[in-house]
Amino acid sequence: MQTITSVAELRQVVGLARKAGKRVGLVPTMGYLHEGHLALAEASRKQCDVTVVSIFVNPTQFGANEDLSTYPRDFQRDERLCRDAGVAIVFAPDNKEVYPEGFETFVEPGELAKPLCGGFRPGHFRGVATVVCKLFNMVQPDAAFFGQKDFQQCAVVRRMTKDLNLPVEVVTLPTVREPDGLAMSSRNRYLNEQERQRAVAISRALLAAQDEFRSGSRDVRNLIAIAEKHLKPLDKLQYLELVDSETLEPAESPLKRSATLCVAAYIGSTRLIDNMTMDLPVSIGEGAG
C-alpha cells in the first residue's frame, strides 16, 4: 500500500494503473475509519482493481461553530486498517494541497442541498460538493463509493455527478451499524458511556417507524409520530422528517413512492444523523418492459 500526499504523484500512480487497463475505485473519507468506511473499501476492492481511500478532513464543509478542530484523527491507525483491507493507495493531502492560496471556485448544489442538514448547516453541501468534485478530478476514478448513512450527501453527489457530466459511477452502500443499531460514525467517539447508551434511541425510532410501515401504515404523520415517541432520551431533536427518497421533498400521505425517514439530533453536544428508507413493494406489472 502506498500513502500519497501530493496530487502530482497521485496522478502519476493512478495514471499508470489506468493505462494498464485497471478499474479505479475511490472511497472519500474524513478518516478515523470504522467498519462503515471499510465496507465501502471492501465493495471497491471487489468491483475495482485499484482502490484509493482518501483521508481529508475538509474544512469547507464545516460551519464556523462546528467541530473541525476537534474532529477525531488517528492517521496511523487508518493506514493500518486500509492496509489490512487491501487498499492500494491512501491519498492524504493537506489543506494547502487541496485549497492552495487563491482558491476561490466552488460547486454550488441546488434544491437537494436545501432541506434536512442543508437547513441547519449552511454551506455544508457546497463544501461537500466542491471537495468531492475536486477528488473526482484528482483521482479520476471509474467508480466512487458512498454510505447511505449520509443520505442527503449521496443525493447531492449523484446530482452533481450527473449535472457536471463527471465520468464516475456513484455507488451507494447500506449503513453499517453497531450491534445495538447505532449507525457507525467517527463522531460516536465524542459520546461518553451514558450518552452512548442514549444514542441507540435514534436507530430504535427509525426501526419502529419502519416496522409500522411494514405492517401497512402509509400515513406520514403516523410514521413520524411513532418514531418521535422513541426520541425522548435525546437532548435535542434538530429534525425528524419523512422525505421523498429522490427529490428530498416532504413525503405525502398515503405514501406511494420510496420515502426516507431522516433524523438529526444532539446527545450532549454531539450531533448525530441517521436515516432509514421505506421502500414500497413493487406491484405486479410495474417496471415491466
The cell for 67 is: 467541530
DSSP state of 149: G
Look at residues 87, 27, 19 and name the one whose alpha carbon lies nearest to residue 55. Answer: 27
Q: Shortest distance, CB of residue 106 to ligand AMP, whole angstroms?
A: 18
Where do runs of H (alpha helix) occur along 108-192?
Answer: 117-120, 124-139, 151-163
Residue 34 annotated as part of some ligand binding site: yes
Residue 35 annotated as part of some ligand binding site: yes
Phi and psi at 27, nearest 5°, equal: -120, 100
Phi and psi at 67, nearest 5°, equal: -95, 30
**Whether 260 contacts 277, CB under 8 Å:** yes
Is 124 one of the annotated active-site residues of the chain? no
Among residues 217 and 277, whose Cβ is nearest to ligand AMP? Answer: 277
Binding region for ligand AMP (CB under 6 A): 29-30, 36-37, 39-40, 146-147, 149-150, 173, 175-176, 183-186
Residue 31 annotated as part of some ligand binding site: yes
Q: Shortest distance, CB of residue 156 to ligand AMP, whole angstroms?
A: 11
Q: Shortest distance, CB of residue 63 to ligand AMP, whole angstroms?
A: 15
Among residues 115 and 147, whose Cβ is nearest to ligand AMP? Answer: 147
DSSP state of 250: B
Q: Shortest distance, CB of residue 209 to ligand AMP, whole angstroms?
A: 19
Among residues 189 and 218, whose Cβ is nearest to ligand AMP? Answer: 189
H-helix or E-strand containing 193?
helix 193-214
Q: Shortest distance, CB of residue 36 to ligand AMP, whole angstroms?
A: 2
Among residues 129 and 176, whose Cβ is nearest to ligand AMP? Answer: 176
- 86/81 Cα distance (integer angstroms): 9
Residue 170's DSSP bridge partners are: 144
> Catalytic pick from 25, 37, 243, 272?
37
Q: Is 96 helix (H, G, I), strand (E, B) or coil?
A: helix
DSSP state of 49: S
Residue 261 annotated as part of some ligand binding site: no
Residue of closest CB approach to ligand AMP: 147
The cell for 86 is: 487491501
Q: Classify residue 268 as left (phi > 0), alpha (psi -120 to 50) or beta.
A: left
Among residues 139 and 184, whose Cβ is nearest to ligand AMP? Answer: 184
Binding site per annotation, positions: 30-37, 61, 147-150, 153, 176, 184-187
Binding site per annotation, positions for (R)-pantoate: 61, 153
Binding site per annotation, positions for ATP: 30-37, 147-150, 176, 184-187
The catalytic site residues sit at 37
